[in-house]
Amino acid sequence: MSENPDVRGCVIPLSLHYNVTDHTWIMVGDDGLVTLGMTDIAQNLAGPLLHCKPKKPGSVRAKGRPIATVESSKWVGPVKTPISGEIVEINDVLTQDAATINRSPYKAGWIVKLRPSDLEEEMKLMVTGQEAVEAYRTKIEADDIQACDHVEGFEA
């Protein structure tokens, strides 16, 4: 089985944890920090991103609160954190080139790193692995989300 399966071309790496409703992913590092970003599905729905404005380091965010706003030519909205905690680092690359999220949503396009405050409990509300793939398959079909189109290249 591929480590990066897809549904309608939308890539869903098995190693990450997802909030399917808000289209976000997290990865927990060896240092205990949580890296957070938008999914491939999210960047496709938004379209080519023009700006990404993360909250400042030091901001404390409760689960469900925005950690950034992103905007394309056709949409603007929040990126909501699935994990409570303090923002300790933001991805400066996105200030100059928000479309990095389109090209590499799971690697170079990460948005913030958090020091989590309730990780164990809040991760129970997320999905990972094949369960995540099936959850996304259900959502993509229910919402009739169009196929992900990686016109600017893609790094999974």
Q: Which residues bind other proteins (CB under 8 A)?
A: 53, 55-56, 59, 65-66, 69, 71, 74-78
Tell me whether residue 68 or residue 135 sits nearer to other proteins (CB atom): 68
Tell me whether residue 4 or residue 69 sits nearer to other proteins (CB atom): 69
Q: CA-to-CA distance for 64 and 66, rounded, in angstroms?
A: 7
Shortest spacing between CB 156 and other proteins, in angstroms: 27
Phi-psi region of 120 (alpha: psi -120 to 50; beta: other; left: phi over 0): alpha
Tell me whether residue 63 or residue 156 sits nearer to other proteins (CB atom): 63
Shortest spacing between CB 147 and other proteins, in angstroms: 15
Tell me whether residue 79 or residue 133 sits nearer to other proteins (CB atom): 79
Shortest spacing between CB 97 and other proteins, in angstroms: 20
DSSP 99-136: THHHH-TTTTT--EEEEESSHHHHHTTSEEHHHHHHHH
| C-alpha 138: how far from chain center | 18
